[in-house]
Structure 1
């Protein structure tokens, strides 16, 4: 019984970490949603732009503000060794999220004929929700990658300490063989 409690501890820690991450993601995202809707509303009502143009402009501005929140607050402890790669992936996945949102908005306006401001906002909310789920999964998986755990820290290190030493010995042996073949 003690063994099962010890083995569930890392899972419980991961779930707690994921919950905290999801809450912070939601806070940054909520800020982006506010920016997105304010810009969308100004573009539609103040500038009288077309619906999809307004949505694209609003989403692009929200993407920029969200990147700052994700990089410098939520994922500040993540690997930032390759900012060019990170920004490229962020823009690609944000663009896909924008296509999800804009596609649903365009479908509702131009196919279903739901073109009142309230109906447009409702379609935008649904599209934004679907895009947000996609972004959360893609950002945490591919864009803001976690730094690998260093030996001697955390519960994972205690469980894999022997495995780590064995892997290091295998790597050293492979290097010795490679150098011997080179000579």
Structure 2
């Protein structure tokens, strides 16, 4: 039972961290969506480009703006030791996301025959949603890798008569606090 109680705060902390990450990912992604849809609309209406070409141009521009948001805001604490590797993976996974989005648009236009500008925008929304889920999982898992957590130092019992170091004092203080917490939890139950 103690193991379960001790693991709950850790799980709650992870979920809070993931929630914050999802919100920030959504903010960066939303700015990319605005760029994506604006460029797409200009390309199909203003420039008269075909829908797939417009989608690719819009997505490439949005990918560039999103990278800046992800690297310098959302994942700024993540390992950036190898930018070449990071950018390569980012472009590969963004390209796969673009293929997902463009594939949905192509199926809508060429297989279903829904080719009005509003139907294309609807297909773009569906494709973008599917591509976003893929991008979120791939970016956080492979592109912007988390820094490894520091291993806690093992507690060493001081020998009788040996001088105590600052780390040992801190560890002893932490153990006393934990023991006091356990007593207060036991009284509350």
TM-score (norm: length of structure 1): 0.82
Distance 1:62 1:143 in 2: 17
- Once the 2 structures are TM-superposed, how far is the Cα of residue 6 of structure 1 from its aligned partner? 1.3
Deviation at 1:3, TM superposition (A): 3.8
User: Which position in structure 2 is the counterpart of 1:127?
Assistant: 127
Partner of 2:33: 33
In structure 1, what is the equivalent of residue 146 of structure 2? 146
2:46 aligned partner: 46
SS in 1 for 2:77: coil
Task: Quote the Cα distance in structure 2 between the aligned partners of 1:135 and 1:144.
Answer: 11
**Deviation per CA, 1:146-171, whole angstroms, max 9, x where unpaired?**
0011234xxxxxxxx549xxxxxxxx
Per-residue deviation, 1:8: 1.2
Where in structure 1 are there 5+ consecutive unaligned residues? 153-160, 164-183
CA–CA distance in 2 between the matches of 1:133 and 1:2? 36
* 1:14-163 matches, cutoff 5 A: 14-152=14-152, 161-162=153-154
CA distance, structure 1, for counterparts of residue 43 and residue 94 of structure 2: 20
- Decide which structure has greater helix share: 1
Using structure 2 for the length normalisation, give the TM-score.
0.80
Partner of 1:171: none
Q: How far has the Cα of 1:122 moved from its partner?
A: 0.2
Unaligned runs of 5+ in 2: 156-189
- Count of aligned residue pairs for this structure pair: 155
